[in-house]
Amino acid sequence: MDRVVKSHISGQAPAPEAPKDNSALGGFIGGVMKPLDNLTSAAMNIPGLSALDQVGQAMGLPSAQQATAHNDQLRQNNTRTGYQTLGNIVGTLPTTMLPGGALAQGAVSGALLTDKKTPTGVAIDSTIGAVGSKLVGAAANGLAWAAKPVVSKTAQVLHDAGIDLTPGQLARSGNSLLAKTVAGLEDRAAGLPLIGDVVKAARARGTEQLNKKLASDALALIGEKLPTKISAGHELVDLVQDKLSEKYQQVVPNLVGRIDQQFGQDLAAAKAVTNTLPRARQQQFKAILDDVFTNRMDPGGRSISGQALKDAESRLGKLARDYGKSTDTDQRILGEAITEAQRALRSMAARSDKSGVVLQNINKGYAKFKLIQAAANLDNVVYPNSLLRQANKTGFNQELARAAFDMLPNKIPDSGTAGRVMAGQMLLGGGGGAALGAFSTPAAAVPLAASALYTKPGMTALNKFVFRNTGAGSAAAAKAIKQAAKLAPIVIPPLLRAR
């Protein structure tokens, strides 16, 4: 009776009662029609289409409002669970052709499937469809990444070099919403007290590993390995230089270095390094060469061999090291010139003797060591920006240098700062009792747990997981999940109002 009264007030005939049914086909068709019915109702607000609807009514056809009301009644009377939802999914398939991705497609799907009649109600359902589709799509892409992590070439280069990356650095190589969120959260966390020190220390660990990689490459050429427990800086640089010198001195006693034209040219190039120095420094360099070579050459000045060759090389190495550590710019330049003279001596010996292959490897090691020296700061630490400059000049390690520049920090925080000490106490349980108590609250549980990923074991485990060889099966699964994620805008809105 109420329907009849309302219909008389509106001036329209009531929609006929639809019988209850349990038809799967009826539910499916009704679900398919739902987006079309809502689209038709919205279209009636367009003047031209509204007039066309009136023409149809004049010809005895039901109005659009009557038709949609009838279909609404059919859907309400259908009791077959799930088939209307399946129909909704099929009915909203055309929205996958819309631009704008999950947000736009989910918004349209939500509006097409709404039961609301007011603009506000439709807007709410549209927003729910958009947000739900975007979130589910992002979660699915996250699962796809977990099945087969996708990392950038830059990240792969660093991993191959033995450099562990933080969660944010790894996420930065992905394009998903989840990846961008993780990277952004890490950037924000780095600016916070205490937890930020943990993040910065983890990032700086990559720069430390970069220095060890460069040193390891130089030592590998002479069959030597870098000790596990050694820090970037003077200790690392001195070790590499000592190892190269030791290997050289093992070979040198039986060598005969014959002075040739190339040796003279190489010494001239070494002297040219001092051209910008005051005349007194240039004279000092000449005096060093005279002292090292003149008194050690064989009669006639055509060769230098055995212990004399070894002594000359050692003398040049000590002088290069001493001057290279100076805080005076002129003395450091003098140290570079002496290093060039030492290189010239080794090259001459390599050309002169049957042990040249061994010496060539030693010289290659010294070439890599020279790159470290040139890129290192006063603390003998190599940072990505200076490494890239030197790599571009020499051609050495350009790919690694570029990757490091793109992803690693150009500063290693002071390990003695109060913030890092306190952070270490909190995380490791050493001492900071009152502060640790403050971090025992439920609100701090999540960031404290997340900080475990920034410890050395945590980062090692994370990087092993991300860069694991998952094979074709995981790649296929990841591809399937990504494809499924694209269906979120046509699946999530129907599921949110499933019947």
Whether the pLDDT of residue 150 is over 70: the answer is no
Whether the pLDDT of residue 230 is over 80: the answer is yes
Kindly report which listed range (13-22, 62-71, 164-173, 318-327) carries the lowest average pLDDT score. 13-22
What mean pLDDT is predicted for residues 221-235?
90
Three-class DSSP category at 382: strand
| Pairwise CA distance, residues 296 & 321, whole Å | 21
Per-residue pLDDT, 134? 87
Per-residue pLDDT, 472? 62
Rounded mean pLDDT of the chain?
81
What mean pLDDT is predicted for residues 221-229?
90
Whether the pLDDT of residue 369 is over 60: the answer is yes
The neighbour count for residue 111, using CB atoms within 10 Å, is: 22
Per-residue pLDDT, 5? 43
| Pairwise CA distance, residues 479 & 472, whole Å | 10
Closest CA to 39 of 61, 76, 64, 19: 64
More confident residue, 498 or 279: 279
Whether the pLDDT of residue 405 is over 60: the answer is yes
| Torsion over CA: 195, 142, 99, 126 (sign) | negative
In angstroms and rounded to an integer, the radius of gyration of the C-alpha atoms of the chain is 37
More confident residue, 261 or 17: 261
What mean pLDDT is predicted for residues 128-157?
79
| Pairwise CA distance, residues 131 & 128, whole Å | 5
Share of the chain above pLDDT 70, in %: 80
Per-residue pLDDT, 146? 64
What mean pLDDT is predicted for residues 238-242?
92
- Per-residue DSSP letters for 264-299? HHHHHHHHHGGGGS-HHHHHHHHHHHIIIIITTSPT
Q: Which of 17-31, 136-150, 469-483 has the highest mean pLDDT?
A: 17-31
Per-residue pLDDT, 4? 45
Which pLDDT band, with edges at 50, 70 and 90, does 314 fall under? Answer: confident
Kindly report whether the global pTM for this prediction surpasses the value 0.85: no
Kindly report which listed range (41-55, 62-76, 131-145) carries the lowest average pLDDT score. 41-55
Which pLDDT band, with edges at 50, 70 and 90, does 191 fall under? Answer: confident
Contact between 218 and 365 (Cβ < 8 Å):
yes
Helices 488-496 and 119-147, interaxial angle, to 10°?
130
Alpha carbon dihedral 67, 69, 75, 78, in 10-degree steps, equals -100
What mean pLDDT is predicted for residues 184-206?
87
